[in-house]
Amino acid sequence: MWAIRNMYRSSAQWCNFKQRGPQSTLQLKIQEYGSDTDSSCISQDLQPLSTYGVSQYQYAWLIMDMVAAVNGEGDKMSYDKASMAPQGGRHHEMEAKMKHINLSFAACGFLGIYHLGAASALCRHGKKLLKVVKAFAGASAGSLVATVLLTVPENIEECTKITYEFAEDTRKLYLGALTPGFDLMAKLRGCIDSILPPNAHEIAENRLFVSVTSAKNGKNHLLSNFASREDLVKVLLASSFIPLYAGINAVDYKGQKWIDGGLTDGLPILPVGRTVTVSPFSGRLDICPQDRGRMDVYAKVAKQDLKLSTANFVRLHQALFPPGQEKMESLYQEGYDDAIHFLLKENWFE
């Protein structure tokens, strides 16, 4: 109950919680609504709950029970004293769904160092979560980190070192990756080859979903079948190929031309189960920076709900033109800390 008490203490609108208990407090809130109230209305009013330690399935069933109570569809709300989770079949159904977890990493260029920080935290303190992850997904740099975390997690530290070196080499060029004669894709391929194990494609088969964009029609595809290690490497390169920035010749794979998946789906959400999202950009995501401002304005960018903030525009520049070593290390630590916060919030920390 300590987490729930802290949650409500932080919000004035729930000041009656400690005195009346969760059920009485919810009943008071229910009286404020009229009939025909829908879940979107109640969800908006209960939004503070989603930021104060209530897990996703608890929050979802809380809203559904309030809708039922408001519209006269239910008279009883039974909550476990320890978790405030609804009891009965629906609770177990939601719990079962939550056991099917996917992990998705956003497209982000050189900000992939944030992903590596998050991945490191998951490996150290999120083993309980990683054990139930059914599938990994990603776009561009996110697909690279997803691949490493799935196929060779023990190389996360080595991958971090390589990323620092890659960024340093790019900073030395007067136009960064756009400098004439600099072959970004060849260098990226060298990094991938040095990290992935020989059987990476076998481990990744039907568990890794890489977002790519067809150069022919601009449609997005999630590729998850890899006949060989070379096929996997080509798909990862295709997902990272930004036209003009990375070159002029799109990546050829199975007779078709493919480009950066981040252009059409920068953060793949898989259809089955819950997809835990990781991004170095602030937005409506599970693991991400929390930008503060007077107004929360969001925009959908390549299927991501990102906050319109000055910090996010700075991050976009850093994704293409890597910042200095000190900032890169800070981004790594930020990813690590944000992942730890998520694990604690969801009771996955160990």
Name which of 107, 106, 104, 112 is nearest 332 in CA terms: 112
Name which of 147, 260, 245, 157 is nearest 197 in CA terms: 147
CB of 206 closer than 8 Å to CB of 225: yes
Catalytic residue among 43, 65, 211, 260: 260
Report the distance separating Cα 112 and Cα 98, nearest Å. Answer: 27
Backbone φ and ψ of 195, nearest 5°: -105, -45
Reduce the DSSP state of residue 217 to 3 states and report it: coil
Could you identify the residue written with the tokens 């604690």?
344
Q: If 0-12 CB within 10 Å is exposed, 13-18 middle and 19+ buried, where does residue 67 land?
A: buried
Q: First and final CA of the chain: distance in angstroms? A: 19
Name which of 226, 219, 162 is nearest 193 in CA terms: 162
Name which of 280, 275, 266, 292 is nearest 322 in CA terms: 280
Torsion sign across C-alpha atoms 171, 176, 182, 184: positive
Catalytic residue among 43, 55, 120, 140: 140
Q: Which helix (H) or strand (E) holds 232?
A: helix 229-239
Could you identify the residue written with the tokens 């530290």?
157
Report the distance separating Cα 246 and Cα 259, nearest Å. Answer: 10
For the question of residue 140 being annotated catalytic, the response is yes
Strand boundaries in 85-232, DSSP class E:
101-105, 133-139, 208-214, 220-223
For the question of residue 224 being annotated catalytic, the response is no
DSSP state of 85: P
Enumerate the active-site residues.
Answer: 140, 260
